[in-house]
Amino acid sequence: MPFDRDRFLPVSREDMARRGWDFYDFLLITGDAYVDHPSFGPAIIGRILEGAGYRVAVLAQPDWKSAAAFAALGRPRLGVLIGAGNIDSMVAHYTAAKKRRHDDAYSPGRKAGLRPDHATVVYANRVREAFGDIPIVIGGLEASLRRFAHYDYWEDKVRRSVLFDAQADILTYGMGESATLEIAARLASGTPVSEITDVRGTCVIGKYPGMCAYPRVEVPSFEEVSASKVAYARANMVEYQEHDAVSGKAIIQKHGDHFLIVNPPAYPLTTAELDRVAELPYVREPHPMYDDQGGVPAIEEVRFSVTHNRGCFGACNFCSLAFHQGRTISSRSHESVIREVKALTEHPGFKGYIHDVGGPSATFRRPSCQKQLKSGMCRNRACLAPEPCPNLDADHTDYMMLLRKLRGIPKVKKVFIRSGIRFDYLMKDPSGEFFTDLVQHHISGQLKVAPEHCAPHVLDCMGKPHIEVYEKFKEKYFKLNRRYGKDQYLVPYLISSHPGCTLDDAVRLAEWLNRQGHMPEQVQDFYPTPGTLATCMWYTGIDPRTMEPVFVPKSPHDKALQRALMQWRKPQNRKLVLEALHRTGREDLIGYGKHCLVKPDRGGAPMDRPQRRTESKKAPPRPVRKKGWAKPRKKKK
The predicted-structure confidence for 257-312, as pLDDT tens digits, reads as follows 999 999 999 999 999 999 999 999 999 999 999 999 999 999 999 999 999 999 99
Maximum pairwise Cα distance, the chain: 116
Residues 6+ apart with CB under 8 A from 241: 248, 379
Task: Find the DSSP H helices in 289-388.
Answer: 321-324, 334-344, 370-375
Side chain identity at residue 195, one-letter code = E
Q: Quick check: 613 pLDDT over 80? A: no
Q: What percent of the chain has pLDDT over 70?
A: 94
CA 377, CA 397: separation in Å to the nearest integer? 23
Among the listed residues 481, 390, 466, 471, the one whose alpha carbon sits nearest the alpha carbon of residue 435: 481
Instruction: Return d(Cα 101, Cα 120) in angstroms, integer.
Output: 19
Rounded Cα gap, residues 35 and 387, in angstroms? 41
* pLDDT at residue number 306: 97
* 300 closest CA partner among 255, 244, 237, 356: 356
Cβ proximity of 60 and 30 under 8 Å: yes
Q: Are strands 330-331 and 309-310 parallel, antiparallel or unpaired?
A: antiparallel
Residues 138-173 pLDDT 10s = 999 999 999 999 999 999 999 999 999 999 999 999
pLDDT value for 372: 84
Residue 555 has pLDDT above 50, yes or no: yes
Distances in whole angstroms, Cα of residue 77 to Cα of each of 10, 22, 134, 135, 200: 15, 11, 9, 10, 24
Q: Which residues pair with 159 in a beta bridge?
A: 150
Dist CA 354 CA 423 (whole Å): 22
CB 588 within 8 A of CB 608: no
At 486, the pLDDT band (50, 70, 90 cuts) reads very high
Pairwise pLDDT comparison (36 vs 617), residue with the higher score:
36
User: What is the arithmetic mean of pLDDT over 68-76?
Assistant: 97
pLDDT band at 3 (very low <50, low <70, confident <90, very high): low
Q: Which residues contact 473 (CB under 8 A, 6 or more apart)?
A: 423, 424, 426, 427, 449
Is the confidence at residue 610, as pLDDT, over 60? no
Average pLDDT estimate for 237-253: 96
pLDDT at position 603 is 56
C-alpha to C-alpha distances, 604 to 62, 404, 601, 609, nearest whole angstrom: 61, 60, 6, 10
CA angle 179, 184, 189 (to 5 degrees): 130
Mean pLDDT calculated for residue range 10-38: 97
Q: With CA atoms as reference, report the closest residue to 77 among 26, 11, 38, 115.
A: 26
pLDDT at position 634:
47
pLDDT-derived band at 316 (thresholds 50, 70, 90) equals very high
Q: For residues 559 and 179, is the Cβ–Cβ distance under 8 A?
A: no
SS3 state of residue 291: helix
- Which of 37-46, 373-382, 383-392, 624-633 has the weakest average pLDDT? 624-633
In this predicted structure, the answer to whether residue 607 has a pLDDT above a threshold of 70 is no
Write down the CATH superfamily of domain 5-203: Cobalamin-binding domain (3.40.50.280)
620 pLDDT tier (thresholds 50, 70, 90): very low
Asked whether the beta carbons of 229 and 539 are under 8 A apart, the reply is: yes
**Mean pLDDT across the chain:** 92
Q: What are the two backbone dihedrals, phi and then psi, of residue 444, each rounded to the nearest 5 degrees?
A: -95, 65
pLDDT of residue 420: 80
Query: Is a pLDDT exceeding 70 seen at residue 51?
Result: yes
Angstrom distance (rounded) from CA 13 to CA 164: 32
Contacts within 8 Å (CB) and 24+ apart, 229-235? 229/539, 229/540, 229/541, 229/542, 230/540, 230/542, 230/547, 232/151, 232/158, 232/536, 232/539, 232/540, 233/536, 233/540, 233/542, 233/543, 233/544, 233/547, 234/544, 234/547, 235/148, 235/149
Buried b / exposed e across 175-204, counting CB within 10 Å, b at 16+?
bbbbbbbbbbebbeeeeebeebbebbbbbb
Q: For residue 285, what are the β-bridge partners?
A: 36
Residue 616's pLDDT is what? 38
In eight-state DSSP terms, residue 245 is: T
Q: How much of the chain, in percent, has pLDDT values that exceed 90?
A: 87
Q: How far is CA 325 from CA 286, 329, 388, in A?
A: 25, 9, 22
> Is 210's pLDDT higher than 60?
yes
Q: Residue 600 carries which side chain, given as an amino acid letter?
A: P
Task: Report yes or no: 159 and 88 within 8 Å, Cβ to Cβ.
Answer: no
Lowest mean pLDDT among 494-508, 537-551, 617-631: 617-631
Is the pLDDT at 591 greater than 70? The verdict is: yes
Residue range 97-112, pLDDT digits in tens: 999 999 999 999 999 9
Residues 169-183 have pLDDT tens digits of 999 999 999 999 999
For residue 270, the SS3 value is coil
In whole angstroms, what separates CA 536 from the centre of its chain?
A: 17
Residue 2 has pLDDT above 90, yes or no: no
Task: Please give the average per-residue pLDDT across 612-623, as a whole number.
Answer: 42
User: Do 33 and 287 meet the contact criterion of CB atoms below 8 Å apart?
Assistant: yes
How are beta strands 157-159 and 150-152 bridged, if at all?
A: antiparallel
CA distance 205 to 307: 34
- The pLDDT of residue 561 is 97
Q: Which pLDDT tens digit goes with each residue over 396-448? A: 999 999 999 999 999 999 999 998 899 999 999 999 999 999 999 999 999 99
3-state helix, strand, coil in the chain (%, to 5): 35, 15, 50
Domain positions in the chain: 5-203, 487-602
8 A C-beta contact, residue 392 and residue 384 = yes
Say if strands 216-219 and 250-255 run parallel, antiparallel, or are unpaired: parallel
- Please enumerate in sequence order all residues whose Cβ is within 8 A of that of 451, keeping only pairs 6 or more positions apart, or say none: 423, 464, 467, 470, 492, 493, 494
Task: Taking residues 607-614, report their average pLDDT.
Answer: 42
Model confidence, pTM? 0.91
